[in-house]
Amino acid sequence: EDQVTQSPEALRLQEGESSSLNCSYTVSGLRGLFWYRQDPGKGPEFLFTLYSAGEEKEKERLKATLTKKESFLHITAPKPEDSATYLCAVLDSGGYQKVTFGTGTKLQVIP
Amino acid sequence: DTGVSQNPRHKITKRGQNVTFRCDPISEHNRLYWYRQTLGQGPEFLTYFQNEAQLEKSRLLSDRFSAERPKGSFSTLEIQRTEQGDSAMYLCASSLAIGNTGELFFGEGSRLTVL
């Protein structure tokens, strides 16, 4: 069974204070690792897909990296509008289409 | 609006009643997914369609849950004899092919409250 564990559960940052969110995963074979952003009361919004160890993707203040066992979402100089829950998810290579999500990290950025 | 549309957005029902949710995916997407999310948790996979075929179903999905996608377009998720534990946000997502960017396009969800 695929497993995704995210830490911390919640993170409170001052505006401009950079930090990282962690996602550790267990799959039989990784087809893709995904990061989503979710605002309260809304569905998740896709951010990145990472396919292999060493890969990095960037979007504005966010940068996602991938190793064989975990992924990090680095947030550089965050702004209050970055406040959201960030979800990590994996798709294994077993021929199925089930994407398994972690429980998320709730990020609050204070002005 | 060409995004994923879900109806109703909110449903309050009494225990034992049946409820049905509808999902209209992005028109050119052939894959459709249902997820359930409770407060403080990540989305939990329920089932997946490719066109009209239901190809995967979670072992957690009891017999009271049924999903259809009759013409490969919209989908319905029915919950029979609702229980308080069914209270959750039911999310629908669609995609073209997960092997590319892996992006699932989610709707805004249907929130179910069972009294």
Over chain A (111 residues), the average pLDDT of each successive run of 10 is 94 97 93 94 93 94 96 97 97 79 97 95
pLDDT of res. B100? 56
Contact A52/B at CB under 8 A: no
pLDDT of res. A97? 76
Rounded Cα–Cα distance for residues B1 and B22 (Å):
16
CB B29 within 8 A of CB B96: yes
Phi, psi (deg, nearest 5) at residue A80: -55, -30
CA distances from B84 to A64, B13, B17, B79 (A): 38, 10, 11, 12
CB contact under 8 A, A101 and B98: no
CB contact under 8 A, A100 and B105: no
Rounded Cα–Cα distance for residues A73 and A60 (Å):
12
Whether B23 shows a pLDDT value over 60: the answer reads: yes
Whether B39 shows a pLDDT value over 60: the answer reads: yes
